[in-house]
Amino acid sequence: MQSLLVLGRQPALGLAELERLYGAGKLRPVGQQAVIVDVDPCLLAFDRLGGSVKFCKVLTTLDTTNWQQIEQFLIQASPSQSEKMPEGKMQLGLSVIGLDVPLKQLQASGLTLKKAIRKTGRNVRLIPNQSLELNTAQVLHNHLTGQTGWELVLIRDGQSVIVAQTVKVQDIESYTRRDRQRPKRDARVGMLPPKLAQIIINLAVGQLPEDQLESICEIPADQAIPRPQLGQTILDPFCGTGVVLQEAVLMGYDVYGTDLEPRMIDYSKQNLAWLSTAYGLLPADYRFEATDATTHQWSEPIDVIASELYLGRPFTAQPTPEILAQTAADCNLIISRFLKNIGPQLIPGVRLCLAVPAWQTKPHQFQHLPLIDSLSDLGYNRVEFEHVRSEDLLYYRSDQLVARELIVITRK
């Protein structure tokens, strides 16, 4: 059974994350928004993927992109398939990706499909489409991944269409819980989304050994699921309130957090204590130090580094060129000093994924840190991806002036 993942709002991040975890050869991108992953679905660690929003099983492929022909196939095939489902009212949803179908036509097709299924005697509720693709909240709240739920996802693949069924979606409630219910938050040091923290960790960790895959397929959702034990330590040298650390702990890593401000260390400790209680986690190795990352000597081991670094001053309006140049220079100096300091402390090959600032000067145009062009001189090799360009690893919204650029590097 093939697995298809629908990628998030910035698909390059999700595709790079999958490439790092499973290898480029296991992936086949489908259009701009999805990818087929050649991994046993039972071993696909969906809950730790920050960049994938839907996990689907491929049902079939149609050698057409003509909507009338697609609709006719669904009308013919769906009634018999619905009869195999458990008894009860059926929840039906349709999502279309990459096909040029008017929304009204999709809505009409949904009603036609509903009528065809009801002729079998089955009661059906159609989830109305407000856009071509149902979002994660709609899938969750309408129980479309439950026993009597059925979201059909139709994705254009060249001159064909893949028909898939959603089996799981991102647990947005758990993300919200980890973001908003933790006791200590501080907007002044940035509000790193938990799903972005997951992407940063996964890009840093790299390809997962096969003997670990069975133990990492589910992030603990409550006290019934034990935390996996992966035996590696994640260092976050700019840990802030501990968002990267909490996601690393949930994944099964030991964590080591440092920050210049003692207050941030206290916040991280309190947040991890809350996380352990809220998720019923087994004890992990937590280490914390209040220190300057540009001069500190860390203790061993440092297996992987995953961190959001200094992003500079926040902007609510486009800064003058002079202010932007000074901000970029300040960030560049601090981050360069950090890289120069930690480099000699790392053995060759140690991986780092660092979120650094980039400034959106025009829509989708960015000013980058100067040090990105001199990583080799600083003692690092930038990791290249087969399916995405490194310069596309940007996390931002269209109205944001400061973006997060993810750089994935290894110590020379």
pLDDT tens sequence across 314-328: 888 889 999 999 999
Average pLDDT estimate for 322-340: 97
Please report which confidence band the pLDDT of residue 217 belongs to, taking 50, 70 and 90 as the band edges.
low
What secondary structure letter does DSSP report for 158?
T
Please report which confidence band the pLDDT of residue 2 belongs to, taking 50, 70 and 90 as the band edges.
confident
Amino acid at 123: N
Is the pLDDT confidence value at 225 over 50? Answer: no
Identify the pLDDT of residue 82: 85
Identify the pLDDT of residue 49: 95
Q: Bridge-partner residues for 304, per DSSP?
A: 234, 351
Mean pLDDT of the chain: 92
Q: Which H or E element spans position 394?
A: strand 394-395
Helix (H, G, I), strand (E, B) or coil at 303: coil
Is the pLDDT confidence value at 177 over 90? Answer: yes
Number of neighbouring beta carbons within 10 Å of residue 410:
16
Identify the pLDDT of residue 211: 63
Q: What are the Cα distances from residue 250, in Å, to 201, 222, 270, 355?
A: 11, 11, 16, 20
Q: Which of 31-45, 205-219, 362-376 has the lowest mean pLDDT?
A: 205-219
- How many angstroms separate the CA atoms of 89 and 86, rounded? 9
Identify the pLDDT of residue 224: 39
0.85 cut: is pTM over it?
yes
Identify the pLDDT of residue 215: 53
Identify the pLDDT of residue 91: 95
Helix (H, G, I), strand (E, B) or coil at 214: coil
| Ordered domains of the chain (ranges, CATH) | 3-44+51-169 (3.30.2130), 185-411 (3.40.50.150)
Average pLDDT estimate for 133-143: 96
